[in-house]
Structure 1
Amino acid sequence: MTSVARRPITPIRPNATGCPGYSETLPCEPQSAGRARILVRAALIAWRLDHLVDDAALVITELVGNAARYSGSRVVRVSVTRPAPDRVRLAVSDRSPALPRLHTPAEDEEAGRGLLLIGAVAHRWDTELRRWGKVVWAEFRVPGDA
């Protein structure tokens, strides 16, 4: 009897969403940030952009957390794409038309710094309204030799 080599089961199966890209639909809850980080890490490692993993994990955690906290949606769509060879875009889509608001918290506040962190870590971020809701995204620049 010959043995058949089996592939290990992975916790995530990224789906192609562009040229190239990965995406996954997740419950709109804070715990989904962990799955989103796995997706982002898988994409960045596949593209040999390991140096972006920590900053991208912080950004996607904030984007998912904001959607869970403020959108009222049942699910979010998380995507990681390369809109150009020199950029990586992380995006979270939800059903709410409410735009994220940049807030400058007081020193003793424990929340309200998410968009400030995203602005400090990512090259740029923005929101695109859609008929069905919005997409909040953040981009990282990729060095030419990556």
Structure 2
Amino acid sequence: MEWTQTYPGLPAMVPAARAFVRAMLDETPRLDDAALVASELVANSLRHTPSGLSGGTFTIAVAVRRDWTRIAVTDAGSGDWHHPAGRPGDDEEYGRGLLIVEVCADKVGHDVRADGQTMWAELTWR
């Protein structure tokens, strides 16, 4: 099964997207990890792509199969993304979002599309 929801590109929508993921994965053992992953992917989308500008939107998709989920955030980014090199300094305020996603998820990826990009994370459980 897969569910999708499109939101305005506003920081106030991060909790709404997190609540959507929680509702779709309510009975799964990785619920907290999934909610954190969703929050970080959405926040990055809003901070680093045109989706966070006036009139922008992002779409979050939650796919679920037996013992597996994929959380994907599609935005208006150019797809010109590179994995950050190294870790942020201890005094830096930003730069940990994708590190958090990588720690919480079993697999992380980035797909470029004609109309934007999708960052996704997969979580498994038994």
Question: Which of the residues 103, 112, 124 maps onto 1:120?
Answer: 103
| CA distance in structure 2 between the aligned counterparts of 1:124 and 1:116, rounded to whole angstroms | 12
Select the structure with the greater relative contact order (CA < 8 A; seq sep ≥ 6). 2
2:46 corresponds to which residue? Answer: 68
User: Offset at 1:100?
Assistant: 5.3
Structure 1's consecutive aligned runs of 4 or more residues displaced over 3 angstroms after TM superposition are none
1:5 corresponds to which residue? Answer: none
Secondary structure in structure 2 of the residue aligned to 1:39: helix
1:31 corresponds to which residue? Answer: 12
Percent identity (aligned): 35
* Alignment of 1:133 onto 2:116: yes
Question: Which of the residues 26, 31, 34 maps onto 1:56?
Answer: 34
Using the size of structure 2 for normalisation, the TM-score is 0.88
| CA distance in structure 2 between the aligned counterparts of 1:117 and 1:92, rounded to whole angstroms | 16
| Aligned partner letter, 1:87 | W
Question: Which of the residues 61, 66, 72 maps onto 1:79?
Answer: 61
Using the size of structure 1 for normalisation, the TM-score is 0.77
Contact 1:92-1:135 at 8 Å conserved across structures: yes
1:88 corresponds to which residue? Answer: 69
Q: Which moved more, 1:102-111 or 1:56-65?
A: 102-111
Listed as ranges, the matches of 1:36-51 within 5 Å are 36-45=17-26, 48-49=27-28, 51=29
Contact 1:22-1:39 at 8 Å conserved across structures: no
User: What are structure 1's unaligned runs of at least 5 residues?
Assistant: 1-19
| CA distance in structure 2 between the aligned counterparts of 1:57 and 1:102, rounded to whole angstroms | 22
User: Offset at 1:101?
Assistant: 3.4
Question: Which of the residues 82, 85, 88 maps onto 1:105?
Answer: 88
| CA distance in structure 2 between the aligned counterparts of 1:102 and 1:80, rounded to whole angstroms | 25
Report how many residues are paired: 120
| CA distance in structure 2 between the aligned counterparts of 1:30 and 1:61, rounded to whole angstroms | 10
